Structure 1
Amino acid sequence: MEKATFAGGCFWCMVKPFDTWDGVHKVTSGYMGGHVINPTYEQVKKGDTGHLEVVQIEFDPNIFSYEQLLEIYWMQIDPTDDGGQFHDRGESYKTAIFYHSKMQKELAESAKQQLAESGRFKKPIVTKILPAETFYIAEDYHQDYYKKESEHYKEDRAISGRDEFIQQHWENNK
């Protein structure tokens, strides 16, 4: 098993895209990158702990590769937005790839470079690639939110603008 950790704005919207693939064993919502030990959601949401909302994915690289995870990741975010993601604004909603090995770092940097050179986006790619730090698991009510609170999840996602962005930049530009 390996781990991959991605920040893509609200972690509620980042679980489902990774959760259904063979080889992905677990997707956990949490926090990474800050200076407060055991932060709470309320602390992180204020934006002064330095943490980003992240999903940590446990996967079997023999079944589902890190490159495939990166491909899915890029298609879930606006990598040109340095102020948050969609309707979620602020430090805790910025994008980042937290690498767990030298190989992950190299693959993430290569994927970022390819995306930048693809011409898909008119603005520069601002998603950071950072070494993984301590992962703090988010509160229970955040785990598998799209399953536990499906109606609220659908409503929140519908007003976020995420799906329209994905359709405009990925589905209409294959």
Structure 2
Amino acid sequence: MPLTSSLSVAASATLSSALDLATASAPVTVRAATTWQSGTGAGKADRVFSDRRTLAASATEDLDLAGVLLDAFGAAITFARIKGLYIRAADANVNNVIVGNATSNAWATLLGATGTITLRPGAALGLTTGAADATAYAVTAGTGDIIKVANSGAGTSVTYDIVIIGASA
């Protein structure tokens, strides 16, 4: 089944200062965007997982990148390489969403085996490899394929959106 996908991360800001007769400004705009055609080499991706997920208070879950996640049509997905990742904690969350530090078989190519990223309510993480990058972030089935996601505290559940774009080889 063909897949065409893209992911972009952008930032813009304008710093300004009122002067005697004018206002000076220093605008900055940066954007990283990648589009992948269907396939498994450089500039290509053939697998996508997307979901809105909820974790109970103090709960954790392990997302297995090799053969357990299901695509939109119910087929099991096995990623060999991750080319794009998007995770966003819901605005209405009270607790944080913690990504990383799986107890076993951690997908360590991004954060290392024990690293984590804390997504406060409304925060998002966007990662994209360049179109020329065929290597991307490797997934090793059975030893390096688990992304742990955790609710940082008790009392309330958390909701997050996740999109993973990658290749099967």
User: So what's the TM-score if we normalise by structure 1?
Assistant: 0.27
Pick the structure with more helix per residue: 1
Higher RCO structure (Cα 8 Å, ≥6 apart): 2
Pick the structure with more strand per residue: 2
Larger CA Rg, structure 1 vs 2: 2
